Structures are given as C-alpha cells and as structure tokens.
C-alpha cells in the first residue's frame, strides 16, 4: 500500500487529533503517503484533500476538537455522493481509508467498502461511548473528567447555599457519561435513558437526606432521559427545596484530551495503519476490549446495542445513600 487517507466524521471528541497524529506518523514511518480529508465525508465529496507531513501533525496531541474539522453530509447518504467520494479517492491514488468517528461514520465507511471495494478501517471516537463492540471510545474519558470537574465546582455552591442542583449532561440515547461521572462525582441520584426512574423515589430520597441533616444534593440526568429544567421544577414543587439546574452542553466536547484518551487514540491510530499495511482491512474497526486492542468487522458496531452494567448502576445507588 502506497497511500492512505484519514478523516474525522460526526461529533468531535477529545483525542481525535491524537488519532490523526498517530495515523500520519505511523504511515510515514513505513513510507506510506497520507492524505488528510477535511470536513469528513462532505470534504471527501468536495475534494478537500491534502497531503500531510510529519510537521502537519506537530503540536496537536494535546488539542481538543479535530484539526481536520468535521461535518455531516446528506449527499454522502446517496449513491451518487458516495461515487463522487470514491472517484476523488481514486484520483489521488488513495488505496485505504481510516475513518475516525461514531457508528454513523462507520456505516459510511462500510458503504465505501461494499460498493467500491475501498479498504477501510474505523477508529471509534465518540464522547457517548455507545459504540457496540468496544469498551471505550476516544473522547469518553476526557468528557467524564470534564463533567466531574463541573460537579466538584457545583457542589461547592450547593453546599454553601444548601440547595439541590441538577446537572444535565450529554447522552441522547446512552447514559454512560451520566453514570461514570455520577459515581465519580458522588451524585445522590443518576438518571439515564436505559433505566426507568421514579420522580417520587427521587424526591423521597432527597427528603430523607434532608431529615438526617444533609441539606444539599447533586442529581445527574442524561439529556436522553428528560429535561433537567422540567425535573427541577417538579422536585421543587414536590419537596419545597431550592433547586437549580446546570446544563453543561457542548463544554463536554472540548478541552485537552486526558492521558488515557491520548494513549487510546495513539494505539488505535497505529493499529489502523498496520491493518491497512497487512491487507486485513476488509471493512474493520479497531476496538479496545478487556484491556486488549483488537480488530473486528465494521458490522460489529451495528450488531447490537451497548448495555449499561446494571451492577455498576446498583453500586451507584448504594453509594449515594
């Protein structure tokens, strides 16, 4: 293999730059040209393709976001759009493609392989950590740390003013951020999309805590489980406690990646290049499973729904008493 391309697609995640850096430097080490494709599949269709050098990825391992930028592309969902993308790959002599993103990005990569025979390797990168088949995705660890830092600051104010604070975090269909950050931040209640909750039980828990002298509380809610603002209104109405809501929003996406995410991204990026070099990239993804880096068929990402560890959730409930 003489040349490969790399793109970032979907929502940005801290550590994407570390993955791009690893792909570029590992490939160049083996004498393989690397082309960076800007703005994901939209850029691939629009021929936003440039050759990358060692210097082009210097000083980016610590940066959040993605230097290649990212965008969503409705045109790529059409066969005509994918054909244009393939032709641009062919015109640049790109023989293999590394796609850094979530399951939607992987679906696009799989289409390129199935329809045009493009050798593709997916690297899971999403702060939601909801890609089936891998224990961790790039960006998740950093996001959890960002949320925990916010919880720590909010708890200072909650204690000082003796109030209940609701912190709404990202997680449209998955509660991994809320669960991990809730445990690490000592939240009194954690509300996630995967598990039904009772507002009555939450209110009773707050009242019991108040009766034993704990006059402040933190509740974490994933956006997919409901509105933090509406929850706050109901809790105040049912308990009479002063309640405030903080919606963390896109602050969770940015920031310098954690050491874990940098190492995860670097290892995954290097492994993706090796897969292309060794010719085993017939539509595969790099996964981190039980402490090991492994290759799996891209279809794995769509073959099931990643489940919350119920024992983990029960532990969070016990520790919050």
Question: Which residues participate in catalysis according to the annotation?
Answer: 128
> In sequence order, which residues have a C-beta less than 8 Å from that of residue 133 and are 6 or more positions away?
285, 287, 289, 296, 300, 301, 303, 304
Contact 210, 241 (CB under 8 A): yes
Contact 124, 131 (CB under 8 A): yes
Known binding residues for Mg(2+) are 103
Contact 221, 229 (CB under 8 A): no
Closest CA to 46 of 29, 65, 69: 69
Contact 105, 74 (CB under 8 A): no
Closest CA to 319 of 192, 141, 170, 179: 179
Scanning the structure block, which residue is given the tokens 């919050």? 320
The strand ranges marked E within 9-130 are 33-37, 49-51, 96-101, 119-124
Contact 44, 7 (CB under 8 A): yes
* 308: DSSP letter: P
Contact 233, 201 (CB under 8 A): no
Contact 15, 67 (CB under 8 A): no
Known binding residues for ATP are 11, 72-73, 102-105
Known binding residues for ADP are 21-25, 155, 186-188, 212, 214-216
What gap in Å lies between CA 321 and CA 317, rounded to an integer? 7
Known binding residues are 11, 21-25, 72-73, 102-105, 126-128, 155, 163, 170-172, 186-188, 212, 214-216, 223, 244, 250-253
Known binding residues for substrate are 126-128, 163, 170-172, 223, 244, 250-253
């Amino acid at each position: 293999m003489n040349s490969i391309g790399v793109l970032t697609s979907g929502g940005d995640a801290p550590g994407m730059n570390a993955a791009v850096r690893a792909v570029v430097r590992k490939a160049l080490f083996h004498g393989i040209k690397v082309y960076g494709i800007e703005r994901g599949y939209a850029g691939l269709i629009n021929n936003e393709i440039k050759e990358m050098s060692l210097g082009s990825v210097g000083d980016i391992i610590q940066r959040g976001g993605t230097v290649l930028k990212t965008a969503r592309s409705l045109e790529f969902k059409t066969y005509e759009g994918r054909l244009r993308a393939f032709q641009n790959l062919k015109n640049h002599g790109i023989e293999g493609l590394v796609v850094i993103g979530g399951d939607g990005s992987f679906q696009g990569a799989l289409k390129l392989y199935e329809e045009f025979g493009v050798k593709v390797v997916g690297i899971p990168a999403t702060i939601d950590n909801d890609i089936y088949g891998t224990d961790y995705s790039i960006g998740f660890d950093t996001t959890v740390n960002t949320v925990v830092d916010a919880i720590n600051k909010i708890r200072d104010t909650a204690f000082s003013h003796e109030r209940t604070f609701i912190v709404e975090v990202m997680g449209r269909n998955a509660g991994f951020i809320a669960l991990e950050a809730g445990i690490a931040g000592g939240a009194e209640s954690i509300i996630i999309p995967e598990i039904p909750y009772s507002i009555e039980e939450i209110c009773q828990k707050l009242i019991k805590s108040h009766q034993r002298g704990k006059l402040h509380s933190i509740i974490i809610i994933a956006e997919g489980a409901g509105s933090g603002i509406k929850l706050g209104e109901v809790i105040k109405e049912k308990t009479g406690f002063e309640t405030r809501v903080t919606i963390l929003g896109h602050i969770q996406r940015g920031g310098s990646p954690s050491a874990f995410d940098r190492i995860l991204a670097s290892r995954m990026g290097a492994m993706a290049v090796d897969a292309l070099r060794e010719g085993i990239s017939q539509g595969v993804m790099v996964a981190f499973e039980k402490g090991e880096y492994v290759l799996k068929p891209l279809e794995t990402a769509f073959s099931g729904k990643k489940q919350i560890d119920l024992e983990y959730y029960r532990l969070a409930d016990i520790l919050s008493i």
